[in-house]
Each structure stands twice: as structure tokens, then as C-alpha cells.
Amino acid sequence: MSRRPLLHRLDPASVIVFRALQLGDMLCAVPALRALRTALPQAHIALVGLPWAQQQFADRFKAYVDEFIAFPGHPLLPEQPVRHEELTGFYTGLCQRRFDLALQLHGSGEVSNDIVSGFGAGAMAGFCRGDAITRERTALFRYPETGTEPERLLLLIEQLGAGAATAAAGTQLEFPLSRQDEDELAASGVARGLEPGRYICIHPGARHRDKCWPPRHFAELGDRLASEFGLKVVLTGSVKEADLTAEVAQHMQQTPVDAAAPISIGAMAALMRDACLLLCNDTGVSHIAAGLRLKSVVIFSKADIARWAPLDRHTHRCIWDPGAERASVVLQHARALLAGTAPSRQRTVGMWPYW
């Protein structure tokens, strides 16, 4: 007799989810969290993540996450230094709470499955390498090597027995804005004088600088689009990326608004919300654009484009350009999005269009 799916057997009242990653990776998990909430509307769902995600992710997605717990790190995970003095209290506290289900949404499981097994939950689920492991209190499914990141994570929720919930929840990303985001943007003054729908945002930075397209290319495209469409150019970035936005501005003939300022992710998203286009590298803001339904051109140079490109390949044009040699293609698709036209040429990888 085949074993019933784990969620059907457990009907858990409490779930602890592990995904301790950066912004773009977290936003890709929103459809899975939405499906989990749809499947378990009354359950208490706690998220274990990097400390930054308390305000800028968990609080933003309160419809899906009831509680946030900061992860103190692990020696084999590169996202943050390990806070060794907090490890004992972290694991002891979680074990004492006895969550009904621990859900590993952190990847293929080589390191993260051991971490999640230490949470002391009554049952555990996630992905693994190799053959699937299905026991009375454990469900580890073979990690999918194809599909976008949101689709891979949704597959896990579906395999746990929530197929109807995953279908109802859908694959779309979200980025809800709060009154606090709006107030912070207004107080910063960076949007003063900007007319909604009459500016484009250029985000030249990324967490890893070796993923960044040359600032001169961003500057040239900004000038061309501003001139052709009568638009203002707004340069966005964190304080750490102010050198990049300054370099783009230096190369431009037009005078852009340099909005690299000490504002939060949410305030920057509020600024982007009223733009008509985003030009960026493969980084977290590309997923913010997907959540805001903001048209974008995303330049890839290193990451797996089939995994990390947005699902809507018409609204979000993803250009593979590791040698920074395809500025004309980026310009072509930026023009097409601003003019509302279809692309004139495309190259296909599998069933998905890339350029």
C-alpha cells in the first residue's frame, strides 16, 4: 500500500521553515510559502532566516509567516559568519518547542538537512540528492535539477500532498509595500519631482561585483532611452553601491537622479513601483520588479538563467551577456518594453525564450 502524503498524515498545527538566504532567493520562496499557507490556513508558520529578513521579508509577508527566528549561521553556509555563542540556545530553544513539522526550503539538502534535523520537530521534509527518502516522519524528495526556483520550491509543497493548494496559490512573485515604505521614501527626498510612469530605474550593482555589467554600458543605454522616450533616469542602489551609481552618472550626458541612499529595500521598491522600466544585473531587485509587475531587462553573466530568470519572459527580458558584448540587444528589448512591442528576434533554450 502506498503511503499517504506527509501533510495528510500529520495535519500539522505548527511548521518551522528554514531558508536563510538573501533577498532574491527569499522572494523566490514566496509562492511556496503562499501555497503552504493555503494548505494549512490555521497552522502557526515560523521562518528561520538571516537576521536582515525580519523587517524586510517576514514582516512584509505576515499573511504567510507568523513568526521569524534569526539563524545564527553554520560553518558550511557562506551567507553570514557563525555566531557561535548563540548556537546552543538556538537549537535548544527550537527543540523545546517541538514543532510538528520542519520544512527545509534551503536547497538540495547537503548541509541544510542536517541543520533542519537539529530543530527537533516531530517530522521533517525537504529535498535531498540521490534517491528520495520516505518514512513515517520523514519525506525527502529528489532535488529537481530543472525549472525556475519558485517552481522547484512549489514542487516540494505539492509532493507533500498540497497539490490543490499549489495550483490555487500560483507561481507569481509578490512585493507588498507598506505605509512605512512610502513614508520613508517621501522623507528621503530622492523621489521629489519625479512623475510616476515618466522615469526608468537603472540598478548597476549586485551583491557580487563580478556579476555587474559595465557602468559605461548602463550610462549609454540610459542616455539613449531618456532621449528617445523623453524619460528621466533614476539610478538606484544601496549606500555600498554609491560608487557604481556615481560612475554611471559620470559617464552620462543626461543628468540622472542618483538615488543610492541609506534607504531600506522597501523604500527603494516604492521608488521602483512608479517607474516604467528597470535595467539591472541578475540580483535581488530583478525579483522585486517581478513582484511589482515592473517591466525589466535583466543582464545575466554567471548565474543559471533557466533557474533564476522570472517566469514572465515577455515582461522581464533576460539577456545572457557574460562578455558585456550585447549592449545593442539590451537596448533593443528595453525599447520594445517601453514601446509595448514584441521582440523581433529571440533564441530559445528549451521552451523558454532568452535573448
Q: What is the CATH number of the domain that holds 266?
A: 3.40.50.2000
1 located within any domain = no
What do you get for the CA distance between the two ends of the chain, in Å? 48
pLDDT of 349 strictly over 80: no
Q: How far apart are CA 80 and CA 345, in angstroms?
A: 42
Return the amino acid letter for 322. P
Same domain, yes or no, for 249 and 210?
yes
Can you spell out the DSSP letters for 274-337?
T-SEEEEESSHHHHHHHHHT--EEEEESSS-HHHHS-S-TTTEEEEE-TTS--HHHHHHHHHHH
Q: Which one of 126, 147, 169 terminates a domain?
A: 169
pLDDT of 171 strictly over 50: yes
Mean pLDDT of 53-81: 96
Taking a C-beta distance cutoff of 8 angstroms, is the pair 112, 98 a contact? Answer: no
pLDDT in tens, 108-155: 999 999 999 999 999 999 999 999 998 889 999 999 999 999 999 999
Q: How far apart are CA 46 and CA 100, in angstroms?
A: 11
Q: Which one of 119, 136, 169 terminates a domain?
A: 169
Same domain, yes or no, for 330 and 212?
yes
DSSP state of 54: I
Domain holding 324, by residue range, is 179-354
Same domain, yes or no, for 161 and 191?
no
56 located within any domain = yes
Same domain, yes or no, for 305 and 263?
yes
Q: Which one of 143, 169, 195 terminates a domain?
A: 169
pLDDT band at 183 (very low <50, low <70, confident <90, very high): very high
pLDDT at residue 110, as a whole number? 95
| Tally of domains within the chain | 2
Same domain, yes or no, for 144 and 250?
no
pLDDT of 344 strictly over 80: no
Q: How far apart are CA 64 and CA 41, in angstroms?
A: 9
Same domain, yes or no, for 217 and 350?
yes
242 located within any domain = yes
Same domain, yes or no, for 257 and 143?
no
pLDDT of 347 strictly over 60: no
218 located within any domain = yes
pLDDT in tens, 7-16: 999 999 999 9
pLDDT of 345 strictly over 90: no
pLDDT band at 354 (very low <50, low <70, confident <90, very high): low
pLDDT at residue 324, as a whole number? 96
DSSP state of 211: G
pLDDT at residue 353, as a whole number? 56
225 located within any domain = yes
- What percent of the chain has pLDDT above 70? 95
Same domain, yes or no, for 234 and 139?
no
pLDDT at residue 25, as a whole number? 96
Same domain, yes or no, for 207 and 341?
yes
Taking a C-beta distance cutoff of 8 angstroms, is the pair 116, 124 a contact? Answer: yes
Chain-centroid distance of CA 133 in Å reads 29
| Interacting residues of 3 by C-beta distance below 8 A, sequence separation 6+ | 9, 134, 136
Q: Which of 240, 177, 250, 244 is nearest to 220 (CA)?
A: 250
Note the pTM of the prediction, 2 decimals: 0.93
Same domain, yes or no, for 347 and 200?
yes
174 located within any domain = no
Q: Which of 139, 174, 131, 136 is nearest to 158 (CA)?
A: 139
**How many Cβ atoms are within 10 Å of 197's Cβ, its own excluded?**
9
Looking only at the bridges linking them, the beta strands covering 352-354 and 347-349 are: antiparallel
Same domain, yes or no, for 228 and 98?
no
Give the range among 123-127, 190-194, 337-341 with minimum mean pLDDT: 337-341
197 located within any domain = yes
Same domain, yes or no, for 78 and 29?
yes
Taking a C-beta distance cutoff of 8 angstroms, is the pair 38, 10 a contact? Answer: no
